[in-house]
Amino acid sequence: MFCSYWRSGVSSRLSRKIGRATGLRDDILIEISRLRPHSNGALARIRNLNEHTARVHGKHILKLVSSAARREPGPVPTQQRLQGKPSNMQEALADVLHGTGILYADVQSMPVST
Q: According to the model, what pLDDT value does residue 75 have?
A: 83
Residues in the chain: 114
pLDDT along the chain (114 residues), means of 10: 57 48 72 90 89 86 87 78 82 90 83 66
Neighbours of 110 (CB within 10 A): 10
Are residues 49 and 97 both part of a single domain? no
How many CA atoms does the CB half-sphere of 16 hold within 13 Å? 4
Q: According to the model, what pLDDT value does residue 13 have?
A: 53
CA 43 to centroid of chain Cα atoms: 17
Query: Does any domain span residue 14?
Result: yes
Query: Does any domain span residue 80?
Result: no
User: How many independent structural domains does the chain possess?
Assistant: 2
Q: Which domain holds residue 113?
A: 86-114
pTM: 0.50
Neighbours of 102 (CB within 10 A): 13
Are residues 23 and 57 both part of a single domain? yes
What does the alpha-carbon distance between residue 7 and residue 19 come to, in Å, rounded to a whole number? 7
Are residues 32 and 59 both part of a single domain? yes
Q: According to the model, what pLDDT value does residue 42 have?
A: 92
